[in-house]
Structure 1
């Protein structure tokens, strides 16, 4: 009887917008959140996994607004911002499995030059430090450069803001995008492949995932289904206007198609891993993120392929750093515990009333807000991709977390209805 009830619940949840009952109610709740005039959302794509199976998917809003208006759908690709860091880390773990990388080796051996914080020149920097934001690198001097720039010149040139002067490598946590530019460079160095194509080989193609880190190589169908990211403010202004028009920020491919980075034809792999943004540049759909979530809940296996070894999955999400009050910057309470390229959440920070402990990653850039959180022990998880915000997120803070109120409402609704089945 219990098994029959579970099957019935699954059918109800999978009914989506076309069905009744719980799924239809959840559709309505999410649509109301997206249309809330206090913080309207340009588009929203969500997915919930329960017991290792996709139980619910829903999309609302427009992937493109204006003359080329088009609705978001299950296959719409979003630039997922910093959730990309976790996806890049899957590629790192595969290279570790292949014995091309070691977590605790001095990364200078991979780069071919000494990577040192000039304030702490005797302390080596390891891949583990880069993956846990404890390398002592900082973002103030930038973390993205074009194909004509050698990252070595930036890392070793002594630029102000590139390195912490008060904390050396190895213990103090500061969330730093540049870590992933260095990681991408290392991946290119040891493989001899350009980062965007390497990630297709290591992760996207083995799992049959669409999108990638380089839209200029997308198929016409993929380009047509990339979500433009929006804000209700100008591209070059910090003034938000919830009553104004949606202004495209990035990926406005309904107006102009993507082009390859300037100078790409002469680019040498391993000279500048920031080029394809390992830190935030992956375009992927909620549906395909659901496949990755299923792979993780199945100990690294997806369908008939072992993508990651179970030991790699366990290691990646095992705690590597925890805030003790003085060993890191929590960014207004957002960061408390970290794995390898992954964030760890206790049961009080994701859903109202608590009860959902998870690992994963969050992202925010250009109006997009992204969430990938999974409880590996119970095989439950949630994906939320917001394609644009119409009001300043800092003026719409969460009630019980460091997230925005929209994120809190979306995750709580998904958890209560699609996972708990209430």
Structure 2
């Protein structure tokens, strides 16, 4: 009798799990095909209690007849979530004694880097990682060809600096911080940024992709998703009834030479060529591997990738909005660590991800070329979510979220994953 009851109970729980998964897949499919803002493709996964619990994909890697379907290993250009991954590489170099958070970065660059309005104040790696460096994106944050970073950042261009906020005093999200961080990483190791990140992080974990598609294998290029919008790239005019238009990683656009790295390039000249700020191509599965490593306190398949202290430090609070000490971008940013955001830290704030305001997590968001990405993990409970949207069919600014600074599509996806998978079990 006991065996019979045990068997019946197992069947019951299996049926319940299948029903839950089916309901979640139905909700996600409805978001993908919502005529208000259709999505070109979607790849998500959810981790519960330190175990992969759910994975779902919809759409094709490229538009057109014969294009292959997206799978869990399809690579996406994940935009600013790349910053968090770059920061993991920084933490590894700190462990090795090659970098220090509070030293003047001029010692690493080999030349003086100062805000012209505050020439006596040093800029540190901690400031770069927490977006409090006083650098701004007004003069750009990517320079191609043989341009050196030194020639750009030492010009004292007014648009590159805050004239009001001293280094360390004010939060403003700036992509330029990461171009400098990547260049510093090259300087202290003598290695090109993309190859360095492979050595420090991606190869030891067996993660496909990287920051430089020109070095990808044929298999990686074949499973790379094109990013789309129903918007022209030159006039920025949306046409929701029109065709999907490729925005990035379009097939046949010579991705093997897309970064235009000169043959004479020397590490430490200009790491913006590899886009430490947003150029990582990685899959939902690969991001899930990184998430499991963080949950497992730096361990992955028997190898130590990061020390537990490094992970605690990386996501520890470095900045918290008090309403006057930073630009929150309409409430999107409330608290920041070293290369990662801390979500849901403001009471009734728009820095949350899901409808439940009690959900707190760390990670990063991304948005570029139609892609919308989320990496969010509750390290204490071992629960997390990865969302990669390959493109949007309508102007997302016209479809904002109800309770967050995200789009309505992102809110629906994340709240569905949270409700079905990652919400903590009630005691």
Query: If the length of structure 2 is used for normalisation, what is the TM-score?
Result: 0.94
Corresponding residue of 2:63? 65
Alignment counterpart, residue 258 of structure 1, candidates 256, 259, 279: 256
Shift of the 5–108 alpha-carbon distance from structure 1 to 2, 3 Å rule, reads farther
Q: Does 1:164 align with 2:167?
A: no
Corresponding residue of 2:29? 31
Q: Aligned partners of 2:342, 2:209: CA distance in 1, in Å?
A: 26
Is the 8 Å Cα contact of residues 319 and 336 (structure 2) preserved in structure 1?
yes
Deviation of residue 160 (structure 1)?
Answer: 2.9
Corresponding residue of 2:391? 388
2:403 alignment partner, SS class: coil
Q: Aligned partners of 1:7, 1:97: CA distance in 2, in Å?
A: 46
In the comparison of the two structures, how many residue pairs are matched? Answer: 416
Q: Aligned partners of 2:266, 2:150: CA distance in 1, in Å?
A: 13
Alignment counterpart, residue 342 of structure 1, candidates 340, 343, 366: 340
Q: How does 1:12-411 map to 2 (within 5 A)?
A: 20-67=18-65, 69-254=67-252, 256-346=254-344, 349-411=352-414
Is the 8 Å Cα contact of residues 135 and 177 (structure 2) preserved in structure 1?
yes
Moved over 4 A (4+): 3-13, 254-257
What do the CA deviations read for 1:177-215 (whole angstroms, capped 9, x no partner)? 000000000000000000000000001001000000000
Shift of the 6–300 alpha-carbon distance from structure 1 to 2, 3 Å rule, reads farther
Query: If the length of structure 1 is used for normalisation, what is the TM-score?
Result: 0.95
Is the 8 Å Cα contact of residues 64 and 254 (structure 1) preserved in structure 2?
no
Q: Aligned partners of 2:214, 2:84: CA distance in 1, in Å?
A: 22
Deviation of residue 67 (structure 1)?
Answer: 4.4
Q: Aligned partners of 1:4, 1:47: CA distance in 2, in Å?
A: 29
Is the 8 Å Cα contact of residues 150 and 271 (structure 1) preserved in structure 2?
yes
2:172 alignment partner, SS class: coil
Deviation of residue 419 (structure 1)?
Answer: 2.1
Q: Aligned partners of 1:79, 1:9: CA distance in 2, in Å?
A: 41
Shift of the 314–67 alpha-carbon distance from structure 1 to 2, 3 Å rule, reads same
Deviation of residue 261 (structure 1)?
Answer: 2.8
Corresponding residue of 2:417? 414
Q: Aligned partners of 1:215, 1:186: CA distance in 2, in Å?
A: 22
1:22 alignment partner, SS class: helix
Deviation of residue 253 (structure 1)?
Answer: 2.0
Unpaired runs of 5+ residues, structure 1, are none
Is the 8 Å Cα contact of residues 49 and 379 (structure 1) preserved in structure 2?
yes
1:84 alignment partner, SS class: helix
Unpaired runs of 5+ residues, structure 2, are none
1:161 alignment partner, SS class: helix
Deviation of residue 421 (structure 1)?
Answer: 9.0
Is the 8 Å Cα contact of residues 68 and 254 (structure 1) preserved in structure 2?
no
Deviation of residue 243 (structure 1)?
Answer: 1.1
Shift of the 27–120 alpha-carbon distance from structure 1 to 2, 3 Å rule, reads same
Is the 8 Å Cα contact of residues 76 and 284 (structure 1) preserved in structure 2?
yes
Q: Aligned partners of 1:11, 1:190: CA distance in 2, in Å?
A: 53
Which sits farther off after the overlay, 53-62 or 258-267? 258-267
What do the CA deviations read for 1:234-268 (whole angstroms, capped 9, x no partner)? 11122211111000001002565432532421101
What do the CA deviations read for 1:68-118 (whole angstroms, capped 9, x no partner)? 522111110000000000000000000000000000000000000001001
Q: Aligned partners of 1:205, 1:51: CA distance in 2, in Å?
A: 26
Is the 8 Å Cα contact of residues 12 and 23 (structure 1) preserved in structure 2?
no
Is the 8 Å Cα contact of residues 261 and 273 (structure 2) preserved in structure 1?
no
Q: Aligned partners of 2:314, 2:14: CA distance in 1, in Å?
A: 33
Q: Aligned partners of 2:333, 2:42: CA distance in 1, in Å?
A: 25
Is the 8 Å Cα contact of residues 82 and 363 (structure 1) preserved in structure 2?
yes
Computed over aligned residues only, the root mean square deviation of the Cα atoms, in angstroms, reads 2.1
Deviation of residue 172 (structure 1)?
Answer: 0.2
Q: Aligned partners of 2:401, 2:7: CA distance in 1, in Å?
A: 38
Is the 8 Å Cα contact of residues 9 and 421 (structure 1) preserved in structure 2?
no
